[in-house]
Amino acid sequence: MTASGVPLFKTRLAVYFLAWSLAIVSIGAVFNAQHETGISKANTQAGVSKLTPGVTLYLGTSDVWNAGIAEGIANLLLGATSGLAILALLFSSRFPPFLRAGMLPLLLCLWLLSTIAVLVTSVITTVFVYTRKVDVQAYLPNGTRMPDNLVQSFSKQLGVSPEYSTFGYLKFMSAAPWPAFVFALASTILTVIAWRKSAATSAESEVAERKAAAAEKGEGDAGSAEAINDEKI
């Protein structure tokens, strides 16, 4: 099947490519956030050590960390789905007929799965970033936990806020997957439309083939009848 015979070829190719690109951006945002979080923790610990040597600081960010990992996995699935969809769109004519027939239903399932995964993880990450904060704990050399008011005092002296929403890289991580979700949803809708058009085209071709076969059979029967009449004459 040529490009001109593929339903919504150019539109799907453009939207699939944008979905793939934005999925890569979202994955990069997750890696950047994890990297920057590690640097921020190290810098905060170094600042506390200067103020009060011997004090160990614990910065609990497991909630947003796990949410970021889930977001990265969802966008990895989206990237793989969009990449497969692009390859299927460009090289479908080289696939065997049975594989070509099942490609659109398979892609539709993958699009639905990846779109839902990106949506769910994006909602969770966004909620965590804008409603939660770092779990800050400080311990003396003998293992005694310091009171929270002293910990808050350290944070103010260092100019560090425990609110996740004050960190730009976390806000970017929560915002990056939303455009990817929009194009994943658009890709899902376009795949449904393409599947329906392809099914309708196949049905029309089958009807046309049956009519052609019936016409050939009718001509053959008419020819046989004429031959019998000639013999009788």
At which residue do the structure tokens 């600081």 appear? 57
What is the per-residue pLDDT across 194-217, written as a single tens digit (0 to 9) for each? 888 876 555 445 544 555 555 566
What is the predicted pLDDT for the residue at 203?
Answer: 46
Answer yes or no: is pLDDT of 59 > 70.
yes
What is the CB neighbour count within 10 angstroms for residue 22?
24
- Tokens representing 195 are 């599947």
d(CA 54, CA 183): 51
pTM of the model: 0.79
Query: Is a pLDDT exceeding 90 seen at residue 14?
Result: yes
Look at 92 and 116; give whichever has higher pLDDT.
116
Residue 45 reports pLDDT greater than 50: yes
Supply φ then ψ for residue 191, to 5 degrees: -65, -40
Question: Is the dihedral angle over the CA atoms 48, 52, 54, 55 positive or is it negative?
Answer: negative
3-state SS string for the chain: CCHHHCCCHHHHHHHHHHHHHHHHHHHHHHHHHHHHHHHHHHHHHHHHHHHCCCCEEEEECHHHHHHHHHHHHHHHHHHHHHHHHHHHHHHHHHCCHHHHHHHHHHHHHHHHHHHHHHHHHHHHHHHHHHHCECEEEEECCCCCECCHHHHHHHHHHHCCCCEHHHCHHHHHHHHCHHHHHHHHHHHHHHHHHHHHHHHHHHHHHHHHHHHHHHHHHHHHHHHHHHHHHHHHC
State yes or no: pLDDT of 18 exceeds 80: yes
Higher pLDDT, 173 or 149: 173
| Sign of the CA dihedral with 147 first, then 149, 150, and 154 last | positive
- C-beta separation of 65 from 35 below 8 A: no
Q: Which residue would you say has higher pLDDT here, 18 or 219?
A: 18
What pLDDT is recorded for position 1? 47
